[in-house]
Amino acid sequence: MSNYFAAIFGAGIAGTAIALELQKHGKKVLLIDPHVSEESPGAPAALVNPATGRHARMSWEAEACMKALRETVEVVQKDHNGELLISDTGVIRPAISEKLAVNFRESLEKYEWPDGWIRWMDEKEVSDLNPNIAPNYGALFLDCGFTVFVDRYLNALRKHLRLNGAACRYEAARYESVPDGNAYRITLESGETATADHVIAAAGEQTPFFNHWQYLPLHRVKGQIVRYEADRDLNWDHAVSAMGYTLRRGKRDLVVGSTYEHKFEDLSVTERAAEQIHGKLAKMLPGIAEKVTIKGQLAGVRVTTPNKLPVIGRHEEHPNLCIYTAMGSKGLLFSSHVARFLAEHLVNGSPIPDELDTKRFDG
Ligand SMILES: Cc1cc2nc3c(=O)[nH]c(=O)nc-3n(C[C@H](O)[C@H](O)[C@H](O)COP(=O)(O)OP(=O)(O)OC[C@H]3O[C@@H](n4cnc5c(N)ncnc54)[C@H](O)[C@@H]3O)c2cc1C
């Protein structure tokens, strides 16, 4: 029976990120996920944008988050000979009202944006760059922003982990504590068993249902995206973020998101959401909205906490049970930087920032 430093439940954005960071520390990891493989379909594209919301606020530890994510992408891309995992083509945030233009300009002054990250474009520059963008009062252009082809990226990352020694098991499993010890026994559906010094719950929207984690105030918000095909080649490759976002993948493909559904019964895709998303596309790229047909629609759930930051750390009563979840809408941006804090903590005992720690919810 093998022994692992950590058994990680969930091979999505959080699980693969913490697996990679522990692997870099030379630790043996067991990555478990019953719903994915190294050839999984998944979200075709997602945005990495550190200037979010109506005020283009600089997101939490933006510089460190961007640096860590880019390092991860580089490592994975290097041994992935196939297609590109990201489209490093920036994000435009058109100010579609005067108020937004004021907010966006204030953001340029208010935050210490690293050189080369962000710039203002006047209306003419916006129209020269992409005449399809809705009438606007100028725009922020984030040269640092990029689009991740999430399905490719995660499949490549899982493969990278396996090739570098991680045990990846794409099947269901359960864990139980070993009597008189701190370790956990892992039993896989196939009957295989293992032990692990730590169990990390990184199961995305399923994490709040794990028995040990029900005391955390985790909120689930459903979201849907639509994949469209245009009737002609589209001649821009940056992402657009205003009222929602549109991302490019392929010559004619547009991925448009997303809805925020706080009350929902299941994860099925709905016509109502498709209409809402088409409305967003029409507001961002009015001419294009009439020239597209729906090619697919996906629903998922964002997990969030009251301070809108991820949660990592140890269980209040069972210190070797750990968690990494609640990345909200910024899963990619947060993933590697936050994983580094958790890995450093588990391997070297380094403190976890208070704003991320499970301790902020201890009773
Ligand atoms: C509509 C929508 C649009 C979004 N757009 C963006 C965006 O543009 N940019 C961005 O950065 N983020 C975006 N997000 C957020 C992003 O998807 C999440 O932050 C991110 O996926 C969270 O990562 P995770 O690993 O916690 O969960 P996931 O990526 O969902 O991974 C969880 C994994 O756990 C597995 N699992 C479930 N149950 C178990 C179990 N019992 N045992 C083992 N494994 C299990 C699942 O199969 C899954 O593979 C969006 C989310 C939604 C819903």
Per-residue DSSP letter, 231: S
Residue type, 273: A
Distance from Cα 217 to the centre of ligand 1, integer Å: 18
The total domain count for the chain is: 3
Q: Which helix (H) or strand (E) holds 224?
A: strand 219-230
pLDDT at position 115:
97
Task: Give the position, in ligand 1's atom list, of the atom nearest the Cα of 203.
Answer: 34
Q: Are 255 and 296 in contact (CB under 8 A)?
A: no
- What is the tens place of the pLDDT at every residue in 165-204? 999 999 999 999 998 778 999 999 999 999 999 999 999 9
Over range 263-272, report the average pLDDT. 96
Q: Does 104 share its domain with 224?
A: no
Task: Give the position, in ligand 1's atom list, of the atom nearest the Cα of 333.
Answer: 11
Distance from Cα 204 to the centre of ligand 1, integer Å: 5
Which structural domain, as residue segments, surrounds residue 245?
219-304
| Structure-derived torsion over alpha carbons of residues 298, 69, 307, 49, reported in degrees to the nearest 10 | -70
Taking the C-alpha atoms of residue 21 and residue 346, their distance in angstroms, rounded to an integer, is 11
Distance from Cα 205 to the centre of ligand 1, integer Å: 7
Q: Does 132 share its domain with 265?
A: no
CB of 300 shorter than 6 A to ligand 1 = yes
CB of 302 shorter than 6 A to ligand 1 = yes
Over range 216-225, report the average pLDDT. 97
pLDDT at position 362:
83
- What is the tens place of the pLDDT at every residue in 144-158? 999 999 999 999 999
Answer whether residue 350 is part of any domain.
yes
Token couple for 327: 């990345």
pLDDT at residue 79 greater than cutoff 90: no
CB of 284 shorter than 6 A to ligand 1 = no
Distance from Cα 189 to the centre of ligand 1, integer Å: 22
Answer whether residue 54 is part of any domain.
no
Q: At what angle do helices 13-24 and 62-78 cross, to 10 degrees?
A: 80
Answer whether residue 49 is part of any domain.
no
The predicted complex's ipTM stands at 0.99
For 282, half-sphere exposure in the C-beta direction (CA atoms, 13 angstrom radius) is 7
Answer whether residue 76 is part of any domain.
no
Q: Can you give the CATH number for the domain in which 246 is found?
A: 3.30.9.10
Per-residue DSSP letter, 212: G
- What is the tens place of the pLDDT at every residue in 237-246? 999 999 899 9
Dihedral sign (CA 293, 299, 300, 306): positive
> Which residues are within 8 A (CB) of 179 and not within 5 positions of it... i.e. 6 or more apart?
none
Q: Can you give the CATH number for the domain in which 323 is found?
A: 3.50.50.60
Over range 261-285, report the average pLDDT. 97
Q: Does 294 share its domain with 163?
A: no
Q: Does 176 share its domain with 230?
A: no
Enumerate long-range contacts of 188-193, CB under 8 Å, 24 or more apart.
188/32, 189/34, 193/1
Q: Which helix (H) or strand (E) holds 333?
A: helix 331-348
Answer whether residue 69 is part of any domain.
no
Q: Are 76 and 162 in contact (CB under 8 A)?
A: no
Kind of pairing between the strands at 245-248 and 253-257: antiparallel
pLDDT at residue 290 greater than cutoff 90: yes
Show which of 304, 319, 352 is a domain's final residue. Answer: 304
Over range 87-107, report the average pLDDT. 97
Answer whether residue 177 is part of any domain.
yes
Q: Does 256 share its domain with 115?
A: no
pLDDT at position 181:
76
Distances (CA, A) of 180 to 52, 194, 224, 286: 48, 17, 46, 65
Average pLDDT value over all residues in the chain = 96
Q: Read off φ and ψ for residue 173, nearest 5 degrees.
A: -155, 165
Q: Does 241 share its domain with 99?
A: no
Over range 253-280, report the average pLDDT. 97
Answer whether residue 147 is part of any domain.
no
Over range 318-333, report the average pLDDT. 97
Over range 22-26, report the average pLDDT. 98
Task: Give the position, in ligand 1's atom list, of the atom nearest the Cα of 17.
Answer: 25
Q: Does 201 share its domain with 329?
A: yes
DSSP assignment of 129-195 equals H-TTSPS-S-EEEETT-EEE-HHHHHHHHHHHHHHTT-EEE-S-EEEEEPTTSS-EEEEETTS-EEE
Q: Does 162 share its domain with 278?
A: no
Q: List, edge to edge, every strand of the sheet that includes 219-230.
A: 118-121, 139-142, 91-94, 239-241, 245-248, 253-257, 219-230, 292-304
Among the listed residues 49, 70, 20, 47, the one whose alpha carbon sits nearest the alpha carbon of residue 340: 20
